[in-house]
Amino acid sequence: MSAPITPDRSSLWRPKRAASKRVEAVVKAIFATFAFVSVATTIGIVLTLIFETVSFFTEVPIWRFLTDTAWTPLFANKQFGIVVLISATLLTSAIAIAVALPIGLLAAICLSEYAPARMRRWLKPALEILAGVPTVVFGYFALLTVTPFLQSLIPGLQGFNALSAGLILGVSIIPLVASLSEDAIYAVPQSLRDGAYALGATKRETIVSVVLPAALSGIVASFILAISRAIGETMIVTVAAGQNPTLGFNPLVPVQTMTAYIVQVSKGDTPAGSLAYKTIFAVGMTLFIITLALNIFSYWFVRRFREKYE
């Protein structure tokens, strides 16, 4: 009597494995295409900035670009002092940072260390709703509500000014600081807190001496990301700060930031290929270099001071 023939189970699974590998290959190809498109777009943007900026500097010496004390490329007496736009950008960004960093960090500490879990579940999304408000709405809020209120308190404050623009710009980036900092603080292991409590530390001492140093890299990364966001903001400063390129750091007068100037020239009245048109790319390249330097510093800081826990 012959033995019963048992089917080869591996032969049954072989077609399914082959089909699964084909599907996986297709998915990998799709993802690789998306990644390539993102990288190619970034390279295209950078190359466009470089080519147009080089064309600009063939007509305007770079030394003049860095040392002129006025910015009037659209006037008959043309001057190209980028320091004027940089000073306005730094002024509004500094005011925004002075508002957003302490409030955002304190909000993150409250959410992570003091708020009950149920409150945290609805309080954090409520805070992040601010990030979804269009920046043009923030700009008109600064112009029509904040500026008149400040004018009642500060004599000499003009209708367009860096102060109200910087304050509302700071409010707009609070969710960025708070959310990312809270994630970094919440990720600190509970064992570190328990060890500090076991040594007799209070909750405040534990937060200041243990939790915040352990989450320092993530907190600093959120700060730098918020600073980059403030420097690159367009509509708030365009609407509320004005379009008067003024050298200095007086927050009570109208100023023009780099992004506001790009908006001014990009409205369609400037002929393509003209010198005024090329200034857009020179200013854009300057803005790109500043934000790139901030991101490189953030990347270095995170890698240098990141705490790893097993």
278-290 pLDDT, tens digit per residue, is: 889 999 999 999 9
Asked if residue 3 has pLDDT above 90, the reply is: no
In a domain, 76, yes or no: no
Phi-psi region of 273 (alpha: psi -120 to 50; beta: other; left: phi over 0): left
- The DSSP output letter for 71 is B
Whether residue 240 is predicted with pLDDT greater than 70 in this model: the reply is yes
Predicted local confidence at residue 2, as pLDDT: 52
Domain CATH code at residue 181: 1.10.3720.10
pLDDT band at residue 5 under the 50/70/90 scheme: low
What average pLDDT score do residues 141-158 get? 90
CA–CA distance, 183 with 210 (Å, rounded to integer): 16
Tokens of residue 262, six digits: 């790009």
Domain count, the chain: 2
250 and 126 in a common domain = yes
pLDDT tens per residue across span 42-80 = 899 889 889 889 988 888 888 888 888 888 887 778 888
Whether residue 169 sits in one domain with residue 102: yes
Q: Which residues contact 137 (CB under 8 A, 6 or more apart)?
A: none
pLDDT at 203: 87
Residue 131 placed within a domain: yes
Mean pLDDT of all residues in 19-28: 81
The answer for 300, left when phi > 0, alpha when psi is -120 to 50, beta otherwise, is alpha
- Tell whether 123 and 199 lie within a shared domain: yes
| Average pLDDT of every residue of the chain | 85
Residue 310 lies in a domain: no
Q: 71 has which bridge partners?
A: 80
Does residue 299 belong to any structural domain of this protein? Answer: yes
Among 7-11, 38-42, 297-301, whose mean pLDDT is lowest?
7-11
- 80 phi/psi in degrees, rounded to 5: -130, 45
Is there a single domain that holds both residue 178 and residue 89? yes
Instruction: Reduce the secondary structure of 32-69 to three states and give it as a string.
Output: HHHHHHHHHHHHHHHHHHHHHHHHHHCCCCHHHHHHCC
d(CA 305, CA 228): 20
d(CA 281, CA 273): 11
Per-residue pLDDT at 16: 62
Distance, CA of 48 to CA of 51 (rounded, Å):
5
Within a domain: 65: no
Query: What average pLDDT does the segment 159-177 reach?
Result: 92
Read off the pTM. 0.84
Rounded distance, CA 158 to CA 169, Å? 18
CB 222 within 8 A of CB 177: yes
**Beta partners for residue 80, in sequence order:** 71
- Lowest mean per-residue pLDDT among 99-108, 133-142, 265-274, 280-289: 265-274
- Is residue 95, in this structure, part of any structural domain at all? yes
pLDDT confidence of residue 159: 86
Of 185 and 17, the structure prediction assigns the larger pLDDT to: 185
70 in any annotated domain: no
Mean pLDDT on 202-220: 88
- 33 lies in the same domain as 130: no
The residue assigned the tokens 């084909």 is 22
| Co-location of 11 and 115 in the same domain | no
pLDDT of residue 243: 85
> Which residue range is the domain that position 41 belongs to?
5-59
Q: Which residues of 155-165 are buried (b: 16+ CB within 10 A; e: fewer)?
A: eebeebbbbbb
39 within some domain: yes
Token pair in block for residue 301: 């800081």
Q: How many helices (H) and strands (E) does the chain have?
A: 14, 0
